[in-house]
Amino acid sequence: MLELRNVTKSFNLTGAKEDLRVALDHINLQIESGEFVTIIGGNGSGKSTTMNILTGVLKPDSGQVLLNNVDVTNMNEHQRAAYFGHVFQDPMMGTSGDMSVLENLEIAYRRGRKHSPFLWGFKKSHKEEFIRELKRFDLGLEDRLNQKVGVMSGGQRQALTLLMATMRNKPTHKTVKKDYITFSEKDHDVARKEFESVYKPALTEFKKKKHEIRNNKSLSYKEKRNAIAEAYEEFDKKVRQFDLTKQILLLDEHTAALDPKTANKVLELTDKIVKENQMTTLMITHNMRDAIKYGNRLIMFHTGHIIFDVSGEEKAKLTVEDLLKKFDEADKKAVEM
């Protein structure tokens, strides 16, 4: 679960009283694991600030940020990064233009995995997996694996960013263990013992298998390498049962810079990826139709407040007119005040 408790954030660039901007005014928000929330609201209403506070890019002036009931308000951006995939409006952000499609994907994939000592020297390329995923976007990216991302179109870059954001969250085993102990609601000692009772025998088994494979004279070097990688995946899977850090996907107008056709394609695929991986998702959009069509909950921001929050059936019944009316009402109220 993701939670904002009484969060307030103001900006004051000059120090002068008249320049004080209240971006968020005592925001309370609870998002259950697996929810897909669309977020709408006028320019400057606090949507992006909310995401930045969740990821730790910004610190709230007051209030708390909680992840699975654990207070992460003081956890820095880099520590929190493992839990979030963030896609921005600007296609230039999120990918490295000087690197190829393949290099960008490899880096995203390996993030958080670099300490895995068992795969040292057994680097299995994930190329086939990447090609399979890229094909789904239907943008021809799979044929341009070795091209620099810098020469690609906005839609292609954004598709790649989305893929990178959704597959990056692979913590090391050590982190899985640490997070399980921290974030499971069990007593720390109980959680630790439970993890060890699976981890230790699985590790012993993997080591045994690796030894057998290495000593198997009928296998070629390549066959040995693949067999070891396979045994490792099996071991890895057992450990990842404990991975409580469900992926959280934050999309900040991620299709705004794309042409309508490409935007639709990227949105459809976003929806698919979210559903397949049961990701907790927050999607900011200025497109009312998309806000209604996607997700199971809709939130409307207005001048640093949440003024509308609907889910399920009620959300599904919404029309664009309903939402425009809400905006009008909020504007009128603000004028009266």
Ligand X SMILES: Nc1ncnc2c1ncn2[C@@H]1O[C@H](COP(=O)(O)OP(=O)(O)OP(=O)(O)O)[C@@H](O)[C@H]1O
Cβ(35)–Cβ(297) below 8 Å:
yes
Nearer to ligand X by Cβ, of 20 and 190: the residue is 20
Quick one: residue 63, left, alpha or beta (phi over 0 = left, psi -120 to 50 = alpha)? Answer: left
Could you say whether residue 41 binds ligand X (CB under 6 A)? yes
User: Which parts of 202-231 interact with ligand X (CB under 6 A)?
Assistant: none
Identify which range of 44-52, 117-125, 230-238, 287-295 contacts Mg ion by CB under 5 A: 44-52
Span of 20-28, 48-56, 174-182, 238-246 interacting with Mg ion by CB under 5 A: 48-56
Residue among 11 and 187 whose Cβ is closer to ligand X: 11
C-alpha dist (Å) from residue 156 to 19, 123, 140, 141, 243? 39, 27, 9, 7, 31
Site for ligand X in 260-279 (CB under 6 A): none
Identify which of residues 48 and 245 has a Cβ nearer to ligand X in the complex. Answer: 48
The reply to whether 21 sits near ligand X by the rule CB under 6 A is yes
Residue number, 48 or 303, with CB nearest to Mg ion:
48
Q: What is the CA radius of gyration of the chain?
A: 23
Q: Which of ligand X, Mg ion, none lies near 45, with the C-beta cut-off 5 to 8 A by kind?
A: ligand X
Query: Residue 132: CB partners within 8 Å, gap ≥ 6?
Result: none
Minimum CB separation of residue 35 from ligand X in Å reads 20
Who's near 323: CB < 8 A, 6+ residues apart? 40, 288, 291, 292, 300
DSSP state of 181: H
Residue selected from 3, 4, 31, 49 as contacting ligand X according to rule CB under 6 A: 49
Which of 40-48, 61-69, 182-190, 213-221 is the region at the interface with Mg ion (rule: CB under 5 A)?
A: 40-48
By CB under 5 A, tell whether 45 contacts Mg ion. Answer: no
Contact call for residues 124 and 229 (beta carbons, < 8 A): yes
264 binds, among Mg ion, ligand X, none (CB under 5 to 8 A by kind): none
Taking CA atoms, 236 is separated from 103, 171, 242, in Å, by 23, 11, 11
Which residue spans within the chain are E strands per DSSP?
A: 2-12, 20-31, 36-41, 62-67, 70-71, 84-87, 248-252, 280-284, 297-302, 305-311
Half-sphere exposure of 133 (CA within 13 A, CB side): 22
Instruction: Identify whether the C-beta of residue 4 lies closer than 8 Å to the C-beta of residue 301.
Output: no
What does 41 bind: Mg ion, ligand X, none (CB cut-off 5 to 8 Å by kind)?
ligand X
Nearest approach in angstroms of CB 79 to Mg ion is 24
Q: Is 247 in the site for ligand X (CB under 6 A)?
A: no
Among 2, 4, 38, 46, binds ligand X (CB under 6 A): 46
303 is a contact residue toward ligand X (CB under 6 A): no
Instruction: State which of residues 45, 169, 280, 287 lies at the interface with ligand X (CB under 6 A).
Output: 45
Q: Which of 122, 90, 120, 96 is nearest to 108 (CA)?
A: 96
> Which is closer to Mg ion, CB of 24 or CB of 231?
24
Choose among Mg ion, ligand X, none what residue 14 binds, the Cβ cut-off being 5 to 8 Å by kind. Answer: none
Q: Is 13 in the site for ligand X (CB under 6 A)?
A: yes
Distance CA 200, CA 206 (A): 10
Question: Is residue 48 close enough to count as binding Mg ion by CB under 5 A?
Answer: yes
Q: Which residues would be at the binding site for Mg ion (CB under 5 A)?
A: 48
Q: Which residues would be at the binding site for ligand X (CB under 6 A)?
A: 11, 13, 21, 23, 41, 43-49, 301
